[in-house]
Amino acid sequence: MSASRKENKSGFNLQQFLERSTVSVNTALDRFLPSEKTKPVTIHKAMRYSLFAGGKRMRPALVLASAQACDGRDSDAMPLACAVECIHTYSLIHDDLPAMDNDDFRRGKPTNHKVFGEGIAVLAGDALLTQAFEIATLSAGWPRYSHRDIILEIAKASGSLQLIAGQVADLEGEGKKTSAIQLKYIHERKTSALLCCSARLGGMSANCSATQLAALTSFGYHVGLAFQVIDDILDVTQTSEQLGKTAGKDTKAQKATYPSIVGLERSRKIAAELTGKAFDALKPFKGRAVALEALANYLLKRDR
């Protein structure tokens, strides 16, 4: 679904917001990353190849929209928006490796290891993960949130208790019977953790109050879970061309997904319920979180 039909009651234009945030995030990423000509050139080419391959930039948009909800400035949130996109891109490069999901196609292009080889793809992922922390140190630091808080936030979301834990459970669950509880455990960690971290970082970059941070945490958690339920649905309803990545992979790999456990209709209902809970979490913002509302609505109805 195009974001153009998402102009909501408040007159907020989501398409314009997403276009502008994508341009400013891409410009900032270009500035933060070593150029393609920096030695060793192969690694910087590989890092930039996946980073600028055309991702939807939803996590940076969530950082910027969360900052806006707390009256923050884009310039303060930008290093954190770029840091989460670097973490996300690293996770996709590694996820696509033959040792993991073994995928040839991502963001509408051949995967990193297909172009640069497995060794460089592993290193490009490692380098983007490290780069994220370097970029995060460029953030200002705020009265309520120090650099330590910011680094801890990113490290926890991407570490062995969250993002990596989700991936481990996902790998170990392949071909096995998975319960709905176990599937939720995977989705919370593999997907929701980084989306929740994005919302929280946006708030922190605006020196948000404890109440606002709690609201953003609940919003990010529920939107993150809904995001993965929709991702599972799209895997069975869309084509590879529409998704820019291989469709039908979950079924082929005998991976547990919401549609495989509860069916398509129930999955759609669950995604809508989760989005409803995300909306509820925004109540403390008293109608000022228009970008977040529009984003949650868009993510529920997305088709890629």
Question: Is 164 among the residues that bind ligand GRG (CB under 6 A)?
Answer: yes
- Tell me which of 91, 198, 205, 246 binds ligand GRG, using CB under 6 A: 91
Question: Is 163 among the residues that bind ligand GRG (CB under 6 A)?
Answer: yes
Phi and psi at residue 110, in whole multiples of 5°? Answer: -60, 145
- Residue whose entry in the numeric block shows the structure tokens 């393609």: 36
* Contact between 203 and 212 (Cβ < 8 Å): yes
Question: Is 94 among the residues that bind ligand GRG (CB under 6 A)?
Answer: yes
Q: 109 has which bridge partners?
A: 106
x/- letters, 65..84, toward ligand GRG (CB under 6 A): --------------------
- Tell me which of 107, 113, 222, 255 binds ligand GRG, using CB under 6 A: 107
Asked whether the CA dihedral 30, 35, 36, 42 is positive or negative, the reply is: negative
- Tell me which of 47, 69, 95, 199 binds ligand GRG, using CB under 6 A: 95
Return d(Cα 50, Cα 68) in angstroms, integer: 28
DSSP codes joined into one string, 35-46: PTTSSSHHHHHH
Question: Is 55 among the residues that bind ligand GRG (CB under 6 A)?
Answer: yes
Question: Is 131 among the residues that bind ligand GRG (CB under 6 A)?
Answer: no
Q: Segment contacting ligand GRG (CB under 6 A): 69-77, 87-95, 199-207, 246-254?
A: 87-95
- Chain position whose Cβ is nearest to ligand GRG: 55
Question: Is 21 among the residues that bind ligand GRG (CB under 6 A)?
Answer: no
Provide, rounded to whole angstroms, the least separation between the CB of residue 89 and ligand GRG. Answer: 7
Q: Which is nearer to ligand GRG, 92 or 223 (CB)?
A: 92
Q: Which is nearer to ligand GRG, 6 or 255 (CB)?
A: 255
Question: Is 191 among the residues that bind ligand GRG (CB under 6 A)?
Answer: yes
Provide, rounded to whole angstroms, the least separation between the CB of residue 213 and ligand GRG. Answer: 23
Spell out the residues 6+ positions from residue 45 whose beta carbon is closer than 8 angstroms to its own. 36, 116
Give the pair of three-digit tokens for residue 111: 């995967």
- Tell me which of 32, 34, 45, 56 binds ligand GRG, using CB under 6 A: 56
Q: Which helix (H) or strand (E) holds 47?
A: helix 41-51
Provide, rounded to whole angstroms, the least separation between the CB of residue 227 and ligand GRG. Answer: 6
- Say how many residues touch ligand GRG, by CB under 6 A: 16
* Contact between 60 and 4 (Cβ < 8 Å): no
Provide, rounded to whole angstroms, the least separation between the CB of residue 205 and ligand GRG. Answer: 20
x/- letters, 199..238, toward ligand GRG (CB under 6 A): -----------------------------x--x-------
Task: State how far the alpha carbon of 200 is from the alpha carbons of 47, 63, 86, 112, in Å.
Answer: 26, 8, 17, 30
Question: Is 58 among the residues that bind ligand GRG (CB under 6 A)?
Answer: yes
Task: State how far the alpha carbon of 122 is from the alpha carbons of 95, 113, 129, 163, 245, in Å.
Answer: 10, 8, 11, 17, 19
Q: Which residues of 205-243 are buried (b: 16+ CB within 10 A; e: fewer)?
A: bbbbeeebbebbbbbbbbbbbbbbbbbbbbbbbbeeeeb
Return d(Cα 145, Cα 34) in angstroms, integer: 28
From the list 194, 154, 181, the residue with the least C-alpha distance to 58 is 194
* Contact between 60 and 84 (Cβ < 8 Å): yes
Question: Is 250 among the residues that bind ligand GRG (CB under 6 A)?
Answer: no
Binding footprint of ligand GRG on the chain (CB under 6 A): 55-56, 58, 88, 91-92, 94-95, 107, 163-164, 167, 190-191, 228, 231
